[in-house]
Amino acid sequence: NAGVMQNPRHLVRRRGQEARLRCSPMKGHSHVYWYRQLPEEGLKFMVYLQKENIIDESGMPKERFSAEFPKEGPSILRIQQVVRGDSAAYFCASSPAGAGLGAQHFGDGTRLSIL
Amino acid sequence: EDQVTQSPEALRLQEGESSSLNCSYTVSGLRGLFWYRQDPGKGPEFLFTLYSAGEEKEKERLKATLTKKESFLHITAPKPEDSATYLCAAETGANNLFFGTGTRLTVIP
């Protein structure tokens, strides 16, 4: 049973470009969470999604960032017009419906570097 | 404002030298206190959840305890393979995890 898969593992973008980060949840998991880990900081919650629904996006920056979890396919975190401050590790976690946060399984993250 | 503070930031132990890691929290409506292990280049790996003061949980050389203000992760007779960053996180009433910055543990053979 494959774990949470994130790709790419490393992504380099120039300022002003777009970054797309993908997350395939574990089989049977319908809830996806995105977190950002800045250097020397803890993981910060960004957004919580279920299939075709954004449940909580209170941690998402208001501009340039968006997330989706379509009926088919992976969840996507999209960052438009990237800036140097977007350089971070982005982690996705998934859990089954109704299982609570303790059942979250994390992927190994995407390291985003902005030149 | 919700806050989770871990100490120390880094800890070096000799193999077999027991110690404790601290996680102090100030959150509104704590629903659970989580401990994770994170290896370099990897995502957090779940260790424990504690729900109420006085609760304890154990797994191999690790034991987690919880009070109303802090949690401790006790490591008994650590081995080099226990070297990792240990994260604690509070589940708040907002239904998401609020993480500390972690304690980086190095166990020297």
pLDDT of B80 > 70? The answer is: yes
Number of Cβ pairs < 8 A linking chain A and chain B: 59
- Summarised one tens digit per residue, pLDDT across range A46-90 is 999 999 999 999 999 999 999 999 999 999 999 999 999 999 999
Please, which pLDDT band fits residue B103 given cuts at 50, 70 and 90? very high
Across the interface, whether the CB atoms of B43 and A107 are under 8 A apart is answered yes
**Residue B34's pLDDT is what?**
95
DSSP at A60: S
What is the pLDDT, as a whole number, of residue B94?
Answer: 66
Residues of B in contact with A35 (CB under 8 A): 97, 99
Chain A: residues touching B (Cβ < 8 Å): 4, 33, 35, 40-45, 48, 56, 58-59, 91, 93, 100-102, 104-109
Give the residue among B16, B10, B24 at the shortest CA–CA distance from B75: B16
What CA–CA distance (Å, rounded) separates B77 from B74?
10
Q: Please, which pLDDT band fits residue A92 given cuts at 50, 70 and 90?
A: very high
Confidence band for B1, pLDDT divided at 50, 70 and 90: confident
Pairing verdict, β A65-68 and A75-79: antiparallel
The DSSP result for chain B, as a single string, is --EEEEE-SEEEEETT--EEEEEEEE-SS--EEEEEEE-TTS--EEEEEE-STT-EEEETTEEEEE-SSEEEEEE-S--GGG-EEEEEEEE-TTSSEEE---EEEEEE-
Please tell me which residue of chain B has the smallest CA distance to A49.
B96
User: Average of pLDDT values for B15-30?
Assistant: 93
Chain B contact set for A91 (CB, 8 A): 43-44
Decide if B50 touches A, using CB distance below 8 A: no
Chain B residue with Cα closest to A58: B94
Q: Which B residues in the span 20-49 are in contact with A, Cβ-Cβ below 8 Å?
A: 32, 34, 36, 41-46, 49
Res. B108: pLDDT tops 80: yes
Q: Which residues of chain A have a CB within 8 Å of the CB of B4?
A: 42
| Mean pLDDT for all residues in chain B | 94
Cβ contacts of A101 on chain B, cutoff 8 Å:
32, 34, 91, 95-97
What is the pLDDT, as a whole number, of residue A98? 76
Summarize the confidence of residues B74-100 as an average pLDDT.
Answer: 91
Instruction: Give the nearest partner residue to B102 out of A42, A93, A107, using CB atoms.
Output: A42
Using an 8 Å Cβ cutoff, are A89 and A110 in contact?
Answer: yes
Name the percent of chain A in helix, strand, coil, to the closest 5. 5, 50, 45
Q: Do A96 and A31 meet the contact criterion of CB atoms below 8 Å apart?
A: yes
Model pLDDT for residues B29-58, shown as the tens digit of each residue: 888 999 999 999 999 999 999 999 999 999
**Testing the interface with B: which of A43, A54, A60 to mutate, by most B Cβ within 10 A?**
A43
Distance CA A42, CA B46 (A): 16
